[in-house]
Homo-oligomer: A and B are copies of this chain.
Amino acid sequence: MKLSKQFPLNALRVFESVARFGSFTKAGDELGMTQTAVSYQIKLLEENIGEPLFLRRPRQIELTEAGEHLAPKVSEAFNILIEAMASMRKATEETLTIHSTATFAQQWLSRYIGAFQLQFPDIAVRLVTSGNIVDFQKEAADVAIRWGRGDWPGLISHCIMKLDFAPMLSPKLAAEIGGVHEPADLLKLPLISAGDPWWAQWFAAAGVKDADLSRYPKSEFGTQILDASIAMAGGGVAMLNPGHFQEDVATGRLYQPFELTGNDGRDYWLAYPENRRNVPKIRNFRKWLLEKFNVEQD
């Protein structure tokens, strides 16, 4: 049996409106349906209950005793439902959930998100950092900031930052070995997250052909943030994205000995589901973020 047959919910909704207006026609207007449809639904409900809910008087209707009894409860129930749905919709409309890599969140978002909130005080920001690629189908994410090739199906992606990489270390550590003059000098120092293919790629690009990286510990710290912290503490050389750490370089916490950067074709992207591109909070965030990065808008 169909659900709507056992419990005529839509008919109840129509009934609520009719009881309020005392008119089939007006209720139809409110609900965006014809008077005929209203008549049909009321008849349905009356059949379901087993007695009339309205007395059909000429040019007006009147609640029967039964209808009089039913109306306030139905009204109360629908008010609860409507309010619950409204507050839910409002919450999702006004909360922007950003999924981001830990590095981008800490190095960039944490610094500028305040400006966004000043500009859009009605939008509450929820920032989620996780290592995994977010599945917009399954999680309540509005936008994601991720690195990759920007070719995710079903998503719109804007490249916001080249994900270049270059070796960085603390100035102090560099001084200890008498300065880093050429790429091969780096091999004298501990390489952080040496298993990362970026190392091999960068050394190849720098003309160091026989770099044996296998002798370094295979530790992976997962985020550049951790690698950077270790490097700043003098623990070795980290392969970092200059875009993220330019401030640390400027203030002398980190030192980038060579201009040469690598890029493996993967960059930083802002991404969001194609079908939600016009949701206001998403549009606002996209516009704000792309302006910050001087990206051409579409």
Contacts and interface: CB of A to CB of B under 8 A. Distances in A.
Given A3-B31, A51-B140, A80 B77 contact: yes
Interface in A236-269: none
Interface string A73-114: 110111011111100110111000000000000000000000
A3 B13 contact: yes
Given A49-B88, A69-B91, A73-B81, 11 more contacts: A3-B13, A9-B81, A49-B85, A49-B89, A50-B276, A52-B139, A66-B88, A66-B140, A70-B88, A73-B80, A74-B81
Contacts of A7: 13, 81-82, 85
A55 interface: yes
Nearest to A141: B51
A64 interface: yes
B92 A49 contact: yes
Given A50-B89, A51-B140, A9 B13 contact: yes
A31 B49 CA distance: 19
Which of A1, A6, A73 counts the most B-chain CB atoms under 10 A from its CB? A73
A91 B9 CA distance: 20
Contact of A3 (B10, B56, B64, B140): B10
Nearest to A76: B80
Nearest to A14: B3
A-B pairs, top 9 by smallest CB distance, nearest first, are A73-B84, A51-B140, A77-B80, A9-B9, A77-B77, A50-B92, A77-B81, A51-B92, A3-B10
Q: Determine chain A's interface SS by DSSP, over half rule.
A: helix
A138 interface: yes
Contacts of A4: 10
A52 B138 contact: yes
A9 B80 CA distance: 13
Interface residues of A, number: 46
Nearest to A12: B81
Interface string A1-38: 10110110110111000000000000000011100000
Interface in A270-284: 276, 279
Interface in A46-65: 49-52, 55-56, 64-65
Nearest to A43: B137
Given A3-B13, A52-B138, A81-B12, A92 B66 contact: yes
Contacts of A10: 3-4, 9-10
B12 A32 contact: no
A98 to B, nearest CB: 14
A167 B202 CA distance: 123
B51 A66 contact: no
A9 B7 CA distance: 11
Nearest to A137: B52
A140 B47 CA distance: 11
Contacts of A77: 77-78, 80-81, 84
